[in-house]
Structure 1
């Protein structure tokens, strides 16, 4: 390689270095975007003092567009850009907060997006909610038992519109973490709604709940449910559904001695409408109702009853199957026929439907009384006749009618 070639290369490198130094010395203006800058909310304690709260998340971010000399922009760190919004003086309802941004000296803020944030303010409430246990797995033949939750209630705080969505405070446990001997463990608590979905943006007085529990065995045994009393006079039971078995749980040794369970008597005295009554099993010490037998009920379906009475004279009684050559005369002056049944059926009955009748097929000239029935058979009603027999007179057909007694 020639000497001139090396010289040319050295000159080129020198020129490049000079140009680079020159460009750096100019240090031109530059722009950049600092994205996702968290907004610090000031004076939150003022809201609490005024019994107010933010209805929703209190975490907001903005994008800050800045400019400055290139060297300053290149050295700018995201934590050097801060954003704040002041909650002082806000009232209940929808509010819009102006964002204030702070940046290092020599850096200029061009734009903030968004430059305002919507904040919904609501009444601050504190409500006690029950702690419920959710079991994540259920091995066959065993269930969690001997459960104690401490505390059993937790205070949920926050905006009323959000706290109102909270049904309970849930803690979750896996049965695989339990043994037959009761043990204690701390479980994380979370607020949930009626559908079991987590409710965010609320505060709990206890982040953890202590669970004491054991793993119990299950067993299904006969269940006896005594029933006492009678329905009201105008009602009758058309159907009763009472479970005849119950699943219980407990330590294996305790379960082995249980062959049947008796419940407290159900009192149906005077009931006049269909009803579902809770069953209270009497359980031995150390024995609990299994999950599928916690809410046993007895169903009683009632129908409203009514009663109607029609009266008939002797000429109204239908006499049939009279032997040839005979004449049968009813002497009883009044027959009362009473029908009792479902109100809708009784309401449409008429006197002709319950006409009393005498079957004269087996009467003789010496017969003096006959059993009374109704001419038409009635379904879904009970019929009573008073008197149950009618006084009759049997004579030859060619004889003149004799006077009634």
Structure 2
């Protein structure tokens, strides 16, 4: 009889033989799922020729389950699985397009997460957008990253109209550790972004990178002097407010001896209304205005001077012209003195006399009796105003006596 060890050896040999038979001869079928297989969208150039562009895609990756023999499945790599969508037949609007699967021989697709993709297509446009540098990182109050040069300064963005119009600018990101105290050149990737800074995907840029020349400047806050003339010229009085300080930037050496900055002289005589005036600082070589003082403005208030003078002329009530008296009626003004205030420049009012002023009252529609009516004054003199006092008079309207009656 076989010993115990012999039986164990025989059992192992039989087990190995059975395993080899199953794997090597039978090779049973199995399935395996491959996740996040990217979908390739083909013939996009056809859309471009037709002045169309893709706005959105419902899916860009799918999960695929393959079936095949164990040995065949084990040989399949993710990049052996191809999912494609043909865009050549897409039209403006919403398109449902079939996803075509290509897999290695000896395996087949058992299932997939999606068999179609919804592709929205719009008219294609191009627009030129500015390139702006975005500095990433934390900076102290004395540090200011500065862009010396950007090449290119603008980039052409193309794609679906909704996407392109949402692009505010194209950004090149620079990190703090890339900056130096001397000017240095960087090559930065470009991304289209909207007003909030979010990346706009699905558009094409005429340039994918930009050459950026940057430098890390120091900042310094100093006093600002603003010379002003013309505060009280041209019949106006002007008051203003200006910033007391300005923040400038440059190398530590260039900023060392600066304790104040003088702005260009502002002539206020040409301003006749309230407003804001841009100040223009005169800067030493190698010194720039910091972003902290980007908008240096003077707040201006303008008031018209009142240089007018007044003189008074006296009239009798008999000088009042009574107009609009009814038929067969006559009127008289109660006896009292009337004064007229004449207002204007000293030169103008000196020329005005009583003969240049007319006083009148309108009696149109008044019947017999006593009435209080408005007293009017007018003048032929230019640039003068006249005002009577009192501004009403008492008149008496009576019927005319019949000139043909006997006494």
Please say whether Structure 1 and Structure 2 have the same fold, judged by a TM-score greater than 0.5.
yes
Query: Deviations for 1:195-231, whole angstroms, at most 9, x for unmatched residues?
Result: 2333333333333322334444434132305365779
Cα 1:266–1:212 shift into 2, 3 Å: farther
In 2, distance between residues paired with 1:59 and 1:312?
90
In 2, distance between residues paired with 1:216 and 1:83?
51
In 2, distance between residues paired with 1:266 and 1:92?
59
Q: Does the CA-based 8 Å contact 2:170-2:192 persist in structure 1?
A: yes
What pairs with 1:3-402 in structure 2 (closer than 5 Å)?
3=2, 5-6=4-5, 8-9=7-8, 12-13=11-12, 15-17=14-16, 19-24=18-23, 25-56=25-56, 60-135=60-135, 136-145=137-146, 147-174=148-175, 177-219=178-220, 220-226=222-228, 228=230, 240-252=240-252, 254-255=254-255, 256=257, 259-265=260-266, 267=268, 269=270, 271-272=272-273, 274-300=274-300, 333-335=339-341
Residue 327 (structure 1) aligns with: none
Cα 1:177–1:40 shift into 2, 3 Å: closer
Cα 1:153–1:107 shift into 2, 3 Å: same
- Find the residue that maps to 2:277 and give its secondary structure: strand
Unpaired runs of at least 5, structure 2: 316-335, 345-384, 388-407
Unpaired runs of at least 5, structure 1: 316-329, 339-384, 388-405
Q: Does the CA-based 8 Å contact 2:263-2:279 persist in structure 1?
A: no
Q: Does the CA-based 8 Å contact 2:261-2:282 persist in structure 1?
A: no
Q: CA deviation at 1:262?
A: 2.0
Cα 1:152–1:332 shift into 2, 3 Å: same
Q: Does the CA-based 8 Å contact 1:313-1:334 persist in structure 2?
A: yes
| Structure 1 vs Structure 2 CA RMSD | 4.2
Q: Does the CA-based 8 Å contact 1:38-1:61 persist in structure 2?
A: yes
In 2, distance between residues paired with 1:78 and 1:248?
57
Q: Does the CA-based 8 Å contact 1:145-1:250 persist in structure 2?
A: no
Cα 1:178–1:26 shift into 2, 3 Å: closer
Q: CA deviation at 1:142?
A: 4.4
- Find the residue that maps to 1:200 and give its secondary structure: coil
- Find the residue that maps to 1:189 and give its secondary structure: strand
- Find the residue that maps to 2:47 and give its secondary structure: helix
TM-score by length of 1: 0.64
Query: Deviations for 1:14-41, whole angstroms, at most 9, x for unmatched residues?
Result: 5534543554433443333232222221
Cα 1:144–1:89 shift into 2, 3 Å: same
- Find the residue that maps to 1:210 and give its secondary structure: strand
Q: Does the CA-based 8 Å contact 1:231-1:271 persist in structure 2?
A: no
In 1, distance between residues paired with 2:21 and 2:176?
73
In 2, distance between residues paired with 1:230 and 1:195?
47
Q: Report the more deviating stretch, 190-199 or 171-180.
A: 171-180
In 1, distance between residues paired with 2:146 and 2:18?
82
Q: CA deviation at 1:336?
A: 6.0
Query: Deviations for 1:31-85, whole angstroms, at most 9, x for unmatched residues?
Result: 3323222222111221222232222479822222232334433433333322111
TM-score by length of 2: 0.64
